[in-house]
Structure 1
Amino acid sequence: MTELISCYGCGALVKDIPGESHKYIGASAGCWEVYGEILAKEYGEYGYPETVHRLTVDTYAIQHPGKPSHQSIQSVNTHLISLNLVLEKGLEGAEATQAIRKILDYASEFVWLEPPVPNGRMTVLDVVRAKDFLEHQALVQKWARDVWNAWSVYHHIVRQLVSWCNIA
């Protein structure tokens, strides 16, 4: 039986497996594996639901911010901006992706945002259990809102960056 450990990014109890997850996303290998299962369902079985997928990627990246570095700072800021655009501004996934490209012109303005504790109460373990696409969609939406709300202390910074770009 594989031992469980707490993911150092989100706190989920996941398999303790060897390996690294990603260059700058701070997740244990077991958590990264569960995230991969979710992505496989979205790309395959669920036919790539663009806006749901956008929320999945953004939420996972924000919940696993890693350590301060140029890449992690840019990742957290852009994914928070994307959550704002989808959850608050009502943009579709493709529109949010286009907006992120525009916002990257302002990357020099990005700063390290100290992750909240807890960094959301839901994790990939809540989402991976979905029995069908409708449940998956509802869980991803709930997870995204949960993590977005956990970062509420930074919402004013995110909204300012969005306003500079005249998006939505």
Structure 2
Amino acid sequence: MSKQDIDFVHQHAIDAYSAQHAGGGMKNITIAFSLIGLYYAVELGYTGKQVQRVHMLLSRRKYNWPSLQLPSKPYSLTVNDVLKEQPGKNRDAMLREWIYDVWQCWEHQHNWVKNISQSLLK
């Protein structure tokens, strides 16, 4: 997560953090956008910049975002695990592990995320 990151991996960190800390009054749209961002990153290999573009396109659509059931699976990693790594390849690799872990914990919402993405971004 360096300042010169042309792919903007920070977007993945934002999405993972938001999804991992869902609940407690967080807006439904925030959770949905985070999960959609993780879907595009993990499943489709999008860069952070590409995920930002997806978020921008979604923000143009009017949609009543539902409340999503939170995961019951515990998370294996947190942002602290990412930050413990030295900046560069090691930290970027840990970031990928973290976003994968968060995405897997939301497995019960994967179909919803895929369907809403296809529906709203056609």
Shared fold by TM > 0.5?
A: yes
Counterpart CA distance in 2 for 1:51 and 1:119 is: 27
The structure with the largest alpha-carbon Rg is 1
Match for residue 91 of structure 2 among 112, 120, 136: 136
The reply on whether 1:107 has 2:63 as its aligned counterpart is: yes
Match for residue 3 of structure 2 among 29, 33, 47: 47
SS of 1:78's partner is: helix
Deviation above 2 Å: which 4+ runs of structure 1?
A: 48-51, 66-69
Q: Deviations over 1:19-48 (max 9, x none)?
A: xxxxxxxxxxxxxxxxxxxxxxx4xxx124
Counterpart CA distance in 1 for 2:22 and 2:116 is: 19
Counterpart CA distance in 2 for 1:68 and 1:48 is: 34
Counterpart CA distance in 2 for 1:61 and 1:112 is: 14
1:106–1:161 Cα change, 3 Å:
farther
Match for residue 80 of structure 1 among 27, 35, 51: 35
SS of 1:100's partner is: helix
Structure 2: give runs of 5+ residues left out of the alignment: none
Q: TM-score, normalised by structure 1?
A: 0.65
SS of 2:66's partner is: coil
1:58–1:132 Cα change, 3 Å:
same
State the 1:117 CA deviation.
2.5
SS of 1:136's partner is: helix
- Identity of counterpart residues, as a percentage? 23
Structure 1: give runs of 5+ residues left out of the alignment: 1-41
Instruction: Report if the CA contact (8 A) 1:115-1:151 is conserved.
Output: yes
1:136–1:95 Cα change, 3 Å:
same
Relative CO higher for 1 or 2, CA cutoff 8 Å, sep ≥ 6?
A: 2
RMSD (Å) for aligned C-alpha atoms: 1.6
Counterpart CA distance in 1 for 2:50 and 2:67 is: 25
- Find the counterpart in structure 2 of residue 30 from structure 1: none
Q: Deviations over 1:53-92 (max 9, x none)?
A: 11111000100113245xx211010010011111111222
